[in-house]
């Protein structure tokens, strides 16, 4: 990473951590980068059938070693092996001595290493136990990054308030449907008034007028009046 210095470990070797090696100094397994700046090399020693872990202070990406992320300990050699004073803690030990299997300085003048050499901006690591590779990302700023609180997710489902609202909506919907159904049934039972049908208009009978109807008129003075025979009806009837 440009502008960021750190300790360098052999993480590009072909064999994974814990692979076979003949002797403690013939290992070609990949290193594990520890947060204290050391490199842990884990291998299976075929000569003793034991799993060994060696700890090395390797080189720094800053050639002058003046950066705070460079581990300036046991500088007599280019790459120096270091021994943890706390054997049980292994790579997590806070006190160390220079050299292989050397614990002579542990009681008098041990080297104290901080559990975290680097100033991380983010860290992704796995356990530093054998057969496990630890991958560490390095910082991009000079200030320690604040630890982010874990994000908690909830799978409790729908809240009680939401459930109550859903139940209320279902009840109200059922009431509305039942009310409409009841109203419709009552409306169907109401007797219907018969439709008013006007009576048929009768056909007017034709009035026939008798023919040759004459109106009464005064008898002319020039005609002699005489009595009508009893067996003769007046003209026009």
* pLDDT, mean of residues 151-159: 53
* pLDDT, mean of residues 19-43: 90
Q: How many CB atoms lie within 10 A of CB 11?
A: 14
pTM value is 0.48
pLDDT tens digits for range 2-29: 567 888 999 999 899 999 998 877 888 9
- Does residue 37 form part of some domain? yes
- Residue 229: pLDDT above 60? yes
- Does residue 89 form part of some domain? yes
- Does residue 124 form part of some domain? yes
Q: Tell me what pLDDT residue 205 has.
A: 54
- Does residue 174 form part of some domain? no
Which H or E run contains 57?
Answer: strand 50-57
- Residue 101: pLDDT above 60? yes
* pLDDT, mean of residues 57-61: 90
pLDDT tens digits for range 114-137: 998 765 444 434 333 333 333 343
Structure tokens at 17: 């951590």
pLDDT tens digits for range 176-188: 999 898 888 888 8
- Does residue 196 form part of some domain? no
What's the pLDDT band for 102 if we cut at 50, 70, 90? very high
First CA to last CA distance, the chain:
145
- Does residue 195 form part of some domain? no
- Residue 210: pLDDT above 80? no
Pick 44 or 141 by higher pLDDT.
44
State which of 59-68, 79-88, 160-169, 184-193 shows the largest mean pLDDT. 79-88
- Count up the domains in the chain and report the number: 1
- Does residue 93 form part of some domain? yes
Give the side-chain half-sphere CA count within 13 A for 1: 12
Q: Tell me what pLDDT residue 25 has.
A: 79
**Residue 117 domain boundaries:** 1-140
């Amino acid at each position: 990473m440009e502008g960021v210095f750190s300790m360098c470990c052999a993480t590009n070797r072909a064999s994974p951590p814990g692979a076979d090696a003949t002797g403690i100094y013939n290992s070609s397994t990949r290193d594990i980068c520890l947060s204290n700046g050391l490199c842990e090399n884990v291998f299976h020693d075929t000569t003793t059938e034991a799993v060994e872990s060696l700890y090395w202070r390797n080189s720094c990406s800053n050639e002058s070693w003046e950066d705070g992320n460079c581990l300036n300990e046991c500088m007599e050699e280019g790459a120096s092996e270091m021994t943890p004073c706390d054997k049980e803690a292994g790579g997590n030990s806070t006190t160390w001595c220079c050299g292989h299997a050397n614990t002579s300085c542990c009681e008098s003048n041990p080297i104290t290493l901080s559990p975290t050499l680097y100033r991380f901006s983010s860290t992704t690591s796995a356990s530093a136990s054998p057969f496990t590779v630890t991958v560490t990302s390095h910082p991009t700023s000079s200030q320690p990054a604040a630890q982010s609180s874990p994000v908690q997710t909830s799978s409790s489902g729908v809240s009680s308030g939401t459930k109550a609202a859903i139940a209320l909506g279902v009840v109200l919907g059922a009431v509305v449907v039942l009310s409409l159904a009841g109203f419709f049934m009552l409306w169907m039972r109401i007797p219907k008034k018969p439709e008013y049908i006007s009576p048929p208009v009768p056909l007017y009978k034709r009035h026939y007028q008798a023919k040759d109807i004459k109106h009464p008129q005064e008898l002319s003075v020039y005609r002699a009046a005489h009595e009508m025979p009893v067996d003769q009806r007046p003209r026009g009837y």
